[in-house]
Structure 1
């Protein structure tokens, strides 16, 4: 363990992380991977041990607090603007409060994750063993180079995996894991569902539910993991799946409403539309994900739709209706 000195004053970020580790270690789902990741974090900086000791001292302070107050805290933490979360955590007693909420709560963990992207942003990076990652718009993940693992809390990541005989590359989500048996695949987390899509070679996807049932996926195959287990999805186009990491949305006869839903993931002001009004309209083509306004211009030119940029009452909101 790293020796602590008086000068190792923890930052606000270290205190928040210590609170989450305090909660994670107390959680019944905490496993050896979690404990190994905790030791890695603890030894990374002397201030981490200081922060963890302080949070441990808080652990009993809220033990007698009314359950209604704890539930209210959980509601505040999951709904509060990100900039206010640190203050809320400190006012609440942080560690003990999060112990009740559960450190594995994606809504909380995603707020202080190692790697985060904003709406409309993609990020590229490389891990220590050469694995290359592209994070999609509005994503949050924790990275562990030592264990060659990405824990994806929100959004999407595409991994191009380097060859390594000794240690497998793994993407972990709240719903399960995806272990690379080859080179390139994507993982996406949304609304309690994890989707794994294989571009090249093979991936073993294992659900947390249903006793850890697994599927080995080949190129062009996809699977869904949720609270009920894992199941195969319809086959995908590997080239189209690979394209999003290059900022392109490639579709072939896809319903317009699905195209708009994907573009909305890159917009801070989502496009408004009625799915019933646009029913029956399908799209084939290539569109820029990182420039969704230009994509809307192309859609309007190709389909019998009107893109209204005035909004109701001149509020500037964008809406689409059938022409």
Structure 2
């Protein structure tokens, strides 16, 4: 959760759950929790968090104190009953709560309505090539979904979630359109990528040209050529800029390529391929720059290399929750 951003009900429920599970509440805080739980929406969220936590592999109780790191650099949280200072409890609880809320939210994102709406989708860490009726192909990246709507007049794909590369078969009579986050990309040639994140999207052209429009921005379509990319969101169309399109879509080859990228951005990208959650809990390290080529199929190995290179440590609760810090 970003600084200054109001917590959601799931965020609040997750933090209450983690702090209570750690035995970190005094009598007054327990009374506040009971009052909070009286609200039906809060109780529903708390029960969902509880079920999700139980389903996530039965995370084991952490061992002993955090006073000293182990030889591998991994620290462990204290046992129930060994209560550290309140500020420290809150810090760890907030980080743990973030992953629980994220996992629950992800579960909602791929619920039955989306499964019914999607014509093709991928799980976390999976990629898939989808052939279309007209000879075009779609390569779906991790945790992505599309809906296909072909007619006599046009070929329209809706990117419901995630990222995909489209290789378009020529058909002058039927434009090929990819809709994502209230904008559209219209193929003028062959190969381009679209990535959707909430209400924003990025279009990157690998071959030929693509027209990008975002009606809410009140501008005519912007035309991109090979090696160019553009973002759009509720703020409108961004600036057209040059990009190494092959590197940006290296995930098709099972690679992630970073060149002087802030650690915060790198961790966010690794999280797309990891079934758990990697969380930076030390604000001083998020801007550290990272360069390297990593495997999409093993994000934790990438994290190990980053830790060694930057001199960082991690606290790991099974493979699910990883807290990154100095």
Q: Identify whether the pair has TM-score above 0.5, normalized to the shorter chain.
A: yes
Question: Tell me, which stretches of 5 or more residues in structure 1 are unaligned?
Answer: 1-71, 82-104
Q: Secondary structure at the match of 1:278?
A: coil
The aligned residue for residue 3 of structure 2 is none
State the alpha-carbon separation in 2 of the partners of residues 218 and 107 from structure 1: 37
The aligned residue for residue 97 of structure 2 is none
Q: Secondary structure at the match of 1:128?
A: coil
Question: Are the counterparts in 2 of residues 209 and 226 from structure 1 also a CA contact under 8 Å?
Answer: no
Aligned-pair distance for 1:234? 4.1
Aligned-pair distance for 1:122? 1.5
The verdict on how the C-alpha distance between 1:205 and 1:316 changes in structure 2, with shifts beyond 3 A counting, is closer
Question: Are the counterparts in 2 of residues 127 and 145 from structure 1 also a CA contact under 8 Å?
Answer: no
Question: Are the counterparts in 1 of residues 189 and 208 from structure 2 also a CA contact under 8 Å?
Answer: yes
State the alpha-carbon separation in 1 of the partners of residues 240 and 264 from structure 2: 19
Aligned equivalent of 2:114, options 110, 117, 135: 110
Aligned equivalent of 1:246, options 241, 247, 253: 253
The aligned residue for residue 181 of structure 1 is 188
CA RMSD of aligned residues (A): 2.9
Aligned equivalent of 2:300, options 293, 300, 311: 293
Q: Secondary structure at the match of 1:155?
A: strand
Question: Tell me, which stretches of 5 or more residues in structure 2 are unaligned?
Answer: 1-39, 50-108
> Relative to structure 2, which stretch is displaced further, 141-150 or 121-130?
141-150
The aligned residue for residue 283 of structure 1 is 290
Aligned-pair distance for 1:145? 4.1
The aligned residue for residue 58 of structure 1 is none
The verdict on how the C-alpha distance between 1:108 and 1:220 changes in structure 2, with shifts beyond 3 A counting, is farther
Higher helix fraction (1 or 2) = 1
State the alpha-carbon separation in 2 of the partners of residues 281 and 220 from structure 1: 27
Question: Are the counterparts in 1 of residues 120 and 130 from structure 2 also a CA contact under 8 Å?
Answer: no
How far does the alpha carbon of each residue in 1:272-296 deviate from its partner, in whole angstroms, 9 at most, with x for none? 1136231342111211112212222
State the alpha-carbon separation in 2 of the partners of residues 168 and 114 from structure 1: 20
* TM-score of the two chains, using structure 2 as the length reference: 0.60
Q: Secondary structure at the match of 2:261?
A: strand
State the alpha-carbon separation in 2 of the partners of residues 212 and 299 from structure 1: 42
Aligned equivalent of 1:317, options 317, 321, 325: 321
* TM-score of the two chains, using structure 1 as the length reference: 0.61
State the alpha-carbon separation in 2 of the partners of residues 172 and 107 from structure 1: 21
